[in-house]
Structure 1
Amino acid sequence: MKNLKLKIYTVFAALLFAGCADFLEEENLGNTTAENYYGTQKGYESLVNAAYASIRDIYEPTPYVFCAGTDLFFSAHQEVPLGLASYQTLTPSNGQVEHLFKNLYESIQINNLALDYADKTEDFPELETRIAELKFIRAYLYFLLVQNFGDVSMVVDLVSEPITHFEREPASEVYQFIIDEMEEAITVLPTTQPEFGRVNKRVAQHMLAKVYLTRGYESFGLQTDFSTAAQLADAAIGGQGLNLDFEDLFVYENDNNEEVLWSIQYSDGSTKQGGAHNWDYPWGPLIQGSNDGVNKKNALHPTEYLFTLFEDNDTRFEGTFLNILTSPYVGYILDPENSPVNYYYPRTAAQLADTANWRAASPMRANTIISPIDPHWWDGLNQEDYPSLRKFDRVRTVEVQYTHDLYLARLGETYLIAAEAYLQAGNSSNAVARINTVRQRAGASLVSSVDLDFILEERARELVGEGFRWLDLKRTGKLMEYTKVRNPDIKSLFNSGIDPFLGANGNYKILRPIPLSAIALDSGDYPQNPAYQ
C-alpha cells in the first residue's frame, strides 16, 4: 500500500505532543533535543504514553456522536446536536463530527511520531512490544475513521511540514491496512501486560475480530471474514468465563476488573491517570445540586424500546440503570446506608408487589416515592422522575474526585462478537452457545435459536451507553429500519412524510459528512461524502 500524507488537520508533532502533556509526568528537559530525549527508553516511553493519552481527546466530550440518533436514546434537550439526533439537519459543519475527525487524525500523528522514532531510540527489552502497541492503536483509530466516514486519507509516515492537498483512499484499502497492522501486532504482543490498560494480544484479537466482522457486511468483504472473526473472538476469550456479576463491572473503583480487556484510563488504579470525560452527563435525570457530586441533564433520554427490552430476571437492567435516587445523588456510591432514598423505580410485577417490604428494609426509605415503570419513564418532558444510566457515573465532591474509566473492549462484548460472527458464518449452534453465556450471567432465560435482530437486542441489553450502538446499526444495515419505529424524533419525521436520512441526489446519510473546515482548507478537490454534496 502506498504511503500517503496525513489529513488536513495534521499539525506539527511538537504541538500535538504538547497537547497531551497533562497526561504525562512533567519534566524539564532543559536543552535536551527531541532526538536525544526520544532516543532514550524513558523518552520513548513518554511518546508511547502520549499515544495512549491522545485517545482521551476523541472520547472526552458528551458522547452525542457515539450515542445519539439510535433506537436506544432520543433527544430531550436542545443542546443535543439536531443533526446527530435525527439526521435531517446533519451537515458538514457539525461540531461533534468535526471534533471526531480532527482528533482521530491528531492521535494518528502522535502514533506516527512514536513509530518514526522506533528505529532511532536505544534498544530496550520492551521496544518491540511498544511498537506493536502503537501499530495496533493507529489501526484502531483508522477503524473508527473508516466506519464513520468511509473512504479516508491514510498516512503511515510522520508529517513534519504543512501539506495542502490530500486524497481519499477506498474503504477497502483502509480495511486491509487495519487488518495487516493488527495481524502484525498480534504476532508480537504478549498475552498479558504488567501494567493494566496496555494493549495485549487479547485486546488485538478482540478488535481484529470486530474489524473482520464489520468488513464482512461490506460489498468488498470476503466470504471468510465472518469465520475469521469468530475464530479471533474465541481466541480473545481464551476460555475465560463471565465470572463477575454484571453490576460489578461498573461499580465505583472497580475499573480494573478481570473482564476489562482495554479501557481509556482515568481511575486512580490506572496507569494513565488524570483528566475527565463527560459520559455520565447526558443520561439524566436532571441532577445539578451543589452537594450531589454529579452534573446530569435530561439530554439523551432512553426510549420505550430500551426501557422495556429486559426480561424480569435480567440483572443487566439494575446494573445499567439506577433504580433508586438518593440524596445526595452520589450517596448510593459513597454512603448508601445513610443516604435517604427519594425515588424507587420498580419495573417488574414482583418488585411492585414487594414495595412494602422494600420500604421497611431501611429507615432511609421511609419517605421514598415509588415510581413504577409506565410511559412517564420515556416521556422526554419528564426531567427528574426516571432511572438514571449509571455505568460511567463520576464523583465530584470536596473529598472525592473520581472519573470512571471508559471501556473500549470487554469480555462480554467479545462473546457477542463471536455470536454474531458465528451466525453470519452459518454456525448457529456456536452463536447460540456464545449468546447463552452472556445471558446466563445476566440471569436471563437461555435460548435455543438466534437471528441478527436478537443478537442486536442482546448487544443493546449488554452494552447500552458504552458507545457502540450507532456503529452496530450502521454495520448491520439496521440504522434506518430500527430508528424509524423506535426513536420518537425520527419516527415523527417519517410519520409526517419526511425521510430524515435522505440526502443529496438520492443518497442516504449513513456515513458522517467530511467536515466543511477540512474541505475548505484543502487546495485541491477533496470530495465530500455523497449525501452531503
Structure 2
Amino acid sequence: MKKEFMHIGRSACWLLPLLFFVTSCQEFLEDELLSETSVDYLYSTPEGLEDAVVGLYALNRAYIESGAGNNDHRALIMQAKSDLTLGRAGEIALYARLGWGRDLTTGGQGGYSHYWRNYYRVVDRANAIIAAAETVAFEDSDLDRKNQILGEARTMRANAYFTLYRMFNNIFITTEPTSPENAFDVPQDKSSPEEIFALINADLDFAINNLEWTTPDFGRWTQASARHLKAKVAMWQSDWTEAIAQSDAVINEGSYSLLSNTGDVFAGDLNHSETLFAIQFEDGVIGGGTRNQIHFNLVANYLEIPGVVRSSENGGRGASLLVPNNYLVDLLAEDPNDTRDDGTYMISRYRYNDPATLPPGVQIGDTIDIYDRDSEDPNNFRQYYKTLNPGVLKFQQRDADPNEANTIKNIMVYRLAETYLISAEAHMRQGNTDTALERLNAIRTRAGAAPVNEINQEVILDERARELFFEGQRWFTLKRMGVLVEYIMDHAGNDNLQSIARERITPIQQNIFIPEAEIQLLGPNYPQNEGY
C-alpha cells in the first residue's frame, strides 16, 4: 500500500468512532469538529469520500489492533474454535476448550461483542459512504472514480455482513447510515437469509462490474477479491455453478498465480501474485497500524530448553498458548515431501543454537528431541506441548527482533490457494471430477506432496486443513458443510491434553449466541439464536 494511501487513513479514520456513536445530547451533535478533516469534507466531496474509504480499511483491522484483549487473543477466537487447535494456556485457550463462549452462562462474551461491534461499525461507515456518493457532485469524466469508491465500500459492507451472518446467524441488515434522526431506532427482528444474501450479492455484483482486476495500492479490494468473496458466498448458498464461475474467472484471468514455493507465501509484506486481500500492518510507514501479539500465541516457548536462544529460524518468541494439535500435525506429516510443515507455514523442529548453554552430547543445529508428545509421563508430554510443539509461522515478522512479543505483520485474509480449493469443491459437487482433481492437485503439487486420484468431501477438508490452517476459515467451512460438531468431537485438542471441547460441543453452538450486551440494545423481541 502506498504511503499516501496509509497516511490519509490515519488522518481520517480517527473520526469513525465519533461518526458511528451518536449520543442523545443534541448540542453535542451540533458541535463543530475541530479538525481539518470535517464530516462535511468526508461526505460532500469526491476527495473526502476517497479518504473515508481509506478509513474503512483502518476500521476493518480494528478487531486486531483495538481492544483485542490480553495477548491480542480476541483476534484469534475463530481460529481457536476449530478442530485444528490445542488451547494450551491463556485466554485464547479458554475459547479453544469451549470453556469461554460456549453459552450465555460462560465467560468470554466480550470477545464475541468485539466482532459484532467492529463489523457493524464497518457496515455503518460503508453505508454512509454509499449514501453520500449518490449525492456528491462528480464530473461526468469522474464516473469511474465514483464507481471505484462505491465498489470498495460495497465490498467492505458485503464482507462484514457475510462474516456477521456466518458467526451469529440472527443478524439484521440495513443500508441506512446512523444519523441523529435514526440513532434511537432499534432493529426489532432479524433479517431473513434471503434478504441478507440478496444485499451481499448485489454489493459484490456492483464491485465485480466496476473494480479493476488489480490495484497499484496493495491492500485495496479488487475485482479478483470481490469475485473470490462471491464464490465463497455462493458456496454457502449451495450455488455450485456460480461458485465455479467466480473462482474459475479469478484462476483463469491471468493476473494472479500460485507462488512456486510455499516458503514465499507468507514472507515479507504479502504483496505478491497469490494474495487477493490482506490487512495492512506495515512497519515503518505512517498509518500502518500498531503492533500485535498474534504470532506470540502460536509458537512454542523453546527458550526454556538449555542450548537455545530465540531466533527467527526457530520461529521467534512464542508462548505456546494456541498451537496446532496432533491431528493437524499428522495430516501434514502424511506425505514426507510436503513442504508446508518444513518451516514455511509451520515450524515442526526446533534446533540447538546457543554454544554458551549447549548440553553435552549435542551439536549446534541438532534437532531438539528431549520430550515426546506420546510419552506416558504427563510431565514429559506437557513439556513437549509447551516447549517443542510445532508452531504457526503465517503471522511471523521474520525480520523482527526474535525477542519481541509485539510485531508488525500484514495479515492474509483471502488468497488464490483458497480460490483453487473452492473451485475444486464446487466442481466435485457438480460431478466434474477431473477438474476438481486438477484444482486440488495444483495445491498439493506446489507443496511437494503427491497428487491424489480420488476426491470427496473428506479429501477436500483434509487439504483445506493442510493449506489454510489458522487463517480463520476452518470453523466457517465445517459449519457450512454441516460437520462442525462431528469434527470438533473427533479432533479438538489432543487425546492426552485439553480435549474437553470434544465433550462440550453441542449442535446449538453452530451459531454463536448474540452477546447479552448487544441484544439488550436491540428490540425487546429480537430473537436470540435457538437453544440459548
User: TM-score, normalising length from structure 1?
Assistant: 0.79
Distance 1:301 1:81, change over 3 A: closer
Uncovered stretches (5+) of structure 2, i.e. residues with no partner: 1-14, 22-32
Cα distance per residue 1:197-217 (max 9 Å; x no partner): 11111111111001101221x
Aligned counterpart in structure 2 of residue 150 of structure 1, from 153, 169, 185: 169
Match of 1:384 in 2: 387
Match of 2:89 in 1: 77
Distance 1:482 1:529, change over 3 A: same
SS in 2 for 1:521: coil
Given that 2:478 and 2:484 are in contact with CA atoms closer than 8 Å, whether structure 1 keeps it comes out as yes
Q: Which letter maps to 1:320?
A: Y
Superposition deviation, residue 291 in structure 1: 7.3
Superposition deviation, residue 86 in structure 1: 2.7
Q: Which letter maps to 1:112?
A: N
Given that 1:485 and 1:491 are in contact with CA atoms closer than 8 Å, whether structure 2 keeps it comes out as no
Aligned counterpart in structure 1 of residue 265 of structure 2, from 220, 237, 249: 249
Given that 1:314 and 1:442 are in contact with CA atoms closer than 8 Å, whether structure 2 keeps it comes out as yes
Distance 1:511 1:407, change over 3 A: same
Cα distance per residue 1:277-300 (max 9 Å; x no partner): 432122231268997695522222
Distance 1:272 1:32, change over 3 A: closer
Q: Which letter maps to 1:522?
A: L
Distance 1:270 1:183, change over 3 A: farther
Aligned counterpart in structure 2 of residue 203 of structure 1, from 209, 225, 241: 225
Superposition deviation, residue 469 in structure 1: 1.0
Match of 2:120 in 1: 105
Given that 1:325 and 1:342 are in contact with CA atoms closer than 8 Å, whether structure 2 keeps it comes out as no
| Structure-1 separation of matches of 2:55 and 2:81 | 32
Percent identity (aligned): 27
Match of 2:450 in 1: 445
> Which stretch shifts more, 112-121 or 283-292?
283-292
1:181 is aligned to 2:199: no
| Structure-1 separation of matches of 2:34 and 2:530 | 49
Match of 1:335 in 2: none
Given that 2:493 and 2:499 are in contact with CA atoms closer than 8 Å, whether structure 1 keeps it comes out as no
Superposition deviation, residue 420 in structure 1: 0.9
Q: Which letter maps to 1:207?
A: L
| Structure-2 separation of matches of 1:424 and 1:37 | 46
| Structure-2 separation of matches of 1:476 and 1:144 | 16
1:513 is aligned to 2:528: no
1:165 is aligned to 2:186: yes
Match of 1:281 in 2: 296
| Structure-1 separation of matches of 2:290 and 2:479 | 31
SS in 1 for 2:278: strand
| Structure-1 separation of matches of 2:310 and 2:328 | 30
| Structure-1 separation of matches of 2:471 and 2:42 | 38
Q: Which letter maps to 2:347?
A: L
Match of 1:460 in 2: 465
SS in 2 for 1:80: helix
Match of 1:95 in 2: 110
SS in 1 for 2:194: helix
Given that 1:419 and 1:435 are in contact with CA atoms closer than 8 Å, whether structure 2 keeps it comes out as yes
| Structure-2 separation of matches of 1:292 and 1:387 | 15
Q: Which letter maps to 1:520?
A: Q
Superposition deviation, residue 478 in structure 1: 1.4
Aligned counterpart in structure 2 of residue 213 of structure 1, from 213, 235, 239: 235
Given that 2:258 and 2:273 are in contact with CA atoms closer than 8 Å, whether structure 1 keeps it comes out as no
| Structure-2 separation of matches of 1:149 and 1:342 | 51
Distance 1:427 1:104, change over 3 A: same
Given that 1:267 and 1:402 are in contact with CA atoms closer than 8 Å, whether structure 2 keeps it comes out as no
| Structure-1 separation of matches of 2:234 and 2:444 | 24
| Structure-1 separation of matches of 2:59 and 2:96 | 24
Count of aligned residue pairs for this structure pair: 471
Superposition deviation, residue 449 in structure 1: 1.3
Aligned counterpart in structure 2 of residue 264 of structure 1, from 279, 296, 314: 279
Aligned counterpart in structure 2 of residue 65 of structure 1, from 40, 57, 77: 77
Match of 2:432 in 1: 427
> Which stretch shifts more, 379-388 or 101-110?
379-388
| Structure-2 separation of matches of 1:160 and 1:105 | 15
| Structure-1 separation of matches of 2:417 and 2:451 | 16
SS in 1 for 2:150: helix
SS in 1 for 2:428: helix
SS in 2 for 1:409: strand
